[in-house]
């Protein structure tokens, strides 16, 4: 069983298409999308349509998805993010709004938990990038693996023992064997807006049989997306972020 986990598309259709094309070559059986289909990017409706049509794919809700439905206020976000959300609200079809509204906050599948930000307060959208929130997240699920997105940085947090964790920032494409029995929080990075100074899209495939986490970085036409951001009237800083990967 090979499970694709990807997150944070943020309306970046070019990046999403590249990732799906790359994954199609890698014998993926199922996919889980960890939220934030919309926000920042110029193609929110198209991205939702595309993900909905991915075979055997399940999605969960991200903070931008719920903000685009006014379920949470976008005014707590950064200026560019707020502007993009307000723009996105006008772009979404009713059917896609209905689809986003039906997305769950959390999924549990055998020994895996999937959430957008964290499992202890899924709608609090707190980043899990340090020991304190990692331990709190481990306590909130009994599953061995916790897959998250939200921070846009691929990361593996391994629980060494009850009070200690080990953080490993994943760079580039690489395979990580996880055959030991330790519990892990795995951040799959971002498809549409990576922030680890590598502008390529990031996603992972978890080979459950072999117990290997395969992180992949996929390049896409960033210029085209940047131009689309400009054309849509979205803040230009969003395009510059994509080019820098920050």
Contact set with other proteins (CB under 8 A): 1-2, 29-30, 55-58, 104, 107-108, 110, 208-209
Contact (CB, 8 A) for 208 and 28: no
Contact (CB, 8 A) for 35 and 215: no
Q: Least CB distance from residue 211 to other proteins, whole Å?
A: 12
Which CB atom, from 30 or from 195, has the smaller least distance to other proteins? 30
Q: Which residue's entry shows tokens 């939702």?
A: 48
Q: What φ, ψ does residue 50 adopt, rounded to 5°? A: -65, -45
Q: Least CB distance from residue 233 to other proteins, whole Å?
A: 36
Q: What φ, ψ does residue 93 adopt, rounded to 5°? A: -75, 160
Q: Least CB distance from residue 68 to other proteins, whole Å?
A: 21
Burial (0-12, 13-18, 19+ Cβ within 10 Å), 212: middle
Q: Least CB distance from residue 38 to other proteins, whole Å?
A: 21
Which CB atom, from 110 or from 168, has the smaller least distance to other proteins? 110
Contact (CB, 8 A) for 210 and 178: no
Which CB atom, from 107 or from 140, has the smaller least distance to other proteins? 107
Which CB atom, from 108 or from 175, has the smaller least distance to other proteins? 108
Which CB atom, from 100 or from 134, has the smaller least distance to other proteins? 100
Which CB atom, from 56 or from 237, has the smaller least distance to other proteins? 56
Identify the sign of the CA torsion 63, 66, 67, 72: negative
Q: Least CB distance from residue 110 to other proteins, whole Å?
A: 7
**30-33 vs 57-59, strand pairing mode:** parallel
Cα(104)–Cα(229) distance, integer angstroms: 29
Q: Least CB distance from residue 95 to other proteins, whole Å?
A: 13
């Amino acid at each position: 069983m090979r499970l694709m986990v990807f997150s944070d598309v943020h309306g970046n259709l070019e990046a999403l298409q590249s990732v799906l094309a790359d994954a199609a070559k890698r014998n993926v059986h199922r996919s889980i999308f960890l939220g934030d289909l919309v926000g920042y990017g110029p193609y929110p409706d198209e991205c939702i349509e595309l993900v909905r049509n991915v075979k055997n794919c399940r999605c969960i809700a991200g903070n931008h998805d719920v903000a685009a439905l006014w379920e949470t206020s976008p005014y707590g976000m950064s200026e560019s993010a707020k502007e993009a959300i307000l723009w996105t609200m006008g772009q979404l079809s009713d059917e896609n709004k209905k689809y986003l509204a039906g997305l769950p906050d959390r999924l549990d599948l055998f020994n895996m938990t999937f959430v957008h930000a964290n499992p202890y307060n899924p709608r609090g959208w707190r980043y899990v990038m340090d020991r304190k929130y990692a331990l709190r997240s481990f306590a909130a699920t009994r599953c061995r693996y916790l897959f998250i997105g939200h921070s846009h940085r691929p990361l593996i947090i391994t629980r060494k023992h009850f009070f200690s964790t080990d953080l490993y920032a994943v760079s580039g494409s690489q395979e990580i064997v996880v055959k030991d029995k330790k519990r892990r929080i795995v951040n799959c990075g971002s498809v549409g807006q990576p922030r680890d100074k590598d502008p390529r899209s990031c996603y992972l495939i978890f080979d459950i049989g072999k117990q290997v986490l395969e992180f992949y970085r996929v390049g896409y036409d960033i210029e085209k997306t940047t131009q689309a951001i400009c054309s849509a009237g979205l803040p230009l800083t969003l395009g510059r972020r994509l080019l820098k990967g920050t």
